[in-house]
């Protein structure tokens, strides 16, 4: 039982929900949005440089408050910083503070400088934002009446709005809303209402009831077209208009692949967390970072997006009052017979089905692993 632990803290009462909308700014709004991108990026890079320089000189770190005071003086010297929303600049300092917290806690690497040539650009407006569903627009400080496709209504208090421009040139607004809804209390863990799931490459998902979901291999089906467009992009002259157009074509293919992958994962997780009878789901604690070091399977593992699948499944289970628990990665599963408990000493990865020498039962490797997760829970 020491190998079992909750996937996340389900007791946390989180009433925040995020809604992503496509926005259609006009020419003037695009120019002002670009200024917000540039100024937010400039403040982030400046603050990162100041913190690094101050630490090398004194051995101490600059606090967020000290950076805010220095930024006020900086805005006086550089008038172009006053053309954008000051709260967006303060949000950049908050993001840098979070980046350093994640670094010191071992979750990420040391923060890097942001590039204006990066495909994704973003800025955040943490205050004085409104969403008008009647007029179908979003109002931000200094950016009023941005047309948006508000396809999903919501109720609650708008906390922040993050405006993003993706590599293909499309604009999106992510609206964070506090709707006051508290996650339901998780159901009691009962063996008869527990299923185990195992993920794979040929079959994306296998559960303990014998159901299998085929891996769509979305990236693999687009590699030929992507390779042709990337070859054209590599032959374009750097700095030319044709190269910029071709870059957007390549970005659109990547965007289509990502959107199809997100759609597939949301459909699969909805079936498990919403439509499934089970109230507890047992999954393996996968070492995905270690697995992608295998150069022969690296692309296939990353294409499967197991990490995204488990993350989405986790919050959907919390929203629906279900439990998701993870089983230790070193606990025997596929080599262990779920009927009699016999454990095979070794088994090649190519063996997908095997017969137990003790109870003579015929076991499917993946379904057997899912069964073992259920028994461990």
Instruction: Write the pLDDT tens digit of every residue in 317-327.
Output: 999 999 888 87
Can you list the positions of beta strands (E) in the chain? 4-6, 16-24, 121-125, 130-132, 137-140, 143-149, 157-165, 171-178, 194-199, 203-207, 212-214, 280-284, 323-327, 353-355, 362-364
Mean pLDDT of 278-300: 88
Residue 355 catalytic? Answer: no
Task: Compute the mean pLDDT over every residue in the chain, rounded to the nearest whole number.
Answer: 87
Residue 198 catalytic? Answer: yes
**Dist. CA 148–CA 133, nearest whole Å:** 9
- Name which residue leads in pLDDT, 322 or 373: 322
- Name which residue leads in pLDDT, 264 or 360: 264
pTM of the prediction? 0.83
Enumerate the β-bridge partners of residue 282: 196, 325
DSSP type of residue 108: S
Catalytic residue among 284, 345, 353, 364: 284
DSSP type of residue 336: B
Q: Which residues are CB-neighbours of 211 under 8 A, at least 6 positions away? A: none
Burial pattern 17-35, b for ≥16 Cβ within 10 A else e, equals bebebebebeeebeebbeb
10 confidence band (pLDDT: 50, 70, 90): very low
Please list the alpha-helical segments (H only) found in 59-123. Answer: 64-77, 86-104
Between 86-104 and 64-77, two packed helices, what is the crossing angle to 10 degrees? Answer: 140
pLDDT at 1: 35
Name the one residue in this structure whose structure tokens are 């695009």.
Answer: 30
- Name which residue leads in pLDDT, 6 or 51: 51
DSSP type of residue 126: -
Residue 263 catalytic? Answer: no
Mean pLDDT of 299-306: 92
Of the listed ranges 21-25, 176-180, 255-259, 362-366, the least confidently predicted one is 362-366
Catalytic residue among 190, 198, 224, 353: 198
């Amino acid at each position: 039982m020491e190998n079992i632990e909750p996937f996340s803290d389900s007791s946390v009462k989180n009433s925040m929900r995020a809604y992503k909308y496509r926005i259609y700014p006009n020419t003037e709004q695009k120019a002002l949005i670009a200024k917000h991108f540039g100024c937010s990026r400039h403040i982030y890079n400046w603050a990162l440089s100041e913190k690094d320089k101050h630490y090398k000189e004194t051995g101490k770190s600059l606090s967020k408050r000290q950076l805010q005071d220095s930024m006020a003086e900086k805005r006086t010297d550089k008038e172009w910083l006053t053309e954008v929303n000051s709260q967006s600049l303060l949000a950049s300092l908050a993001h840098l503070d979070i980046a350093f917290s994640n670094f010191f806690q071992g979750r990420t690497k040391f923060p890097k400088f942001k590039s204006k040539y990066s495909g994704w650009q973003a800025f955040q407006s943490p205050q004085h934002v409104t969403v008008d569903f009647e007029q179908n627009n979003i109002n931000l400080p200094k950016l009023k009446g941005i047309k948006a496709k508000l396809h999903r209504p919501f109720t609650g208090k708008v906390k922040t709005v993050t405006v993003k421009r993706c590599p293909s040139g499309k604009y999106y607004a992510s609206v964070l809303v506090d709707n006051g809804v508290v996650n339901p209390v998780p159901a009691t863990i009962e063996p008869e209402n527990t299923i185990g799931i195992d993920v794979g490459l040929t079959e994306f998902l296998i559960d303990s009831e014998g159901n299998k979901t085929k891996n769509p291999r979305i990236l693999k089906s687009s590699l030929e077209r992507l390779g042709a467009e990337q070859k054209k992009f590599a032959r374009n002259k750097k700095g030319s208009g044709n190269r910029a157009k071709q870059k957007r074509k390549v970005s659109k293919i990547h965007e289509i692949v990502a959107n199809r992958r997100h759609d597939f994962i949301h459909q699969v997780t909805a079936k498990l967390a919403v439509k499934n009878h089970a109230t507890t789901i047992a999954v393996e604690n996968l070492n995905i970072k270690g697995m992608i070091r295998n150069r022969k399977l690296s692309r296939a593992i990353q294409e499967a997006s197991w990490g995204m699948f488990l993350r989405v499944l986790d919050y959907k289970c919390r929203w629906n009052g279900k439990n998701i628990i993870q089983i230790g990665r070193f606990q025997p599963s596929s080599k262990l017979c779920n009927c009699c408990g016999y454990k095979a000493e070794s088994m090649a990865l190519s063996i997908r089905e095997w017969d137990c020498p003790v109870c003579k039962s015929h076991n499917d490797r993946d379904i057997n692993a899912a069964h073992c997760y259920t028994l461990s829970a």
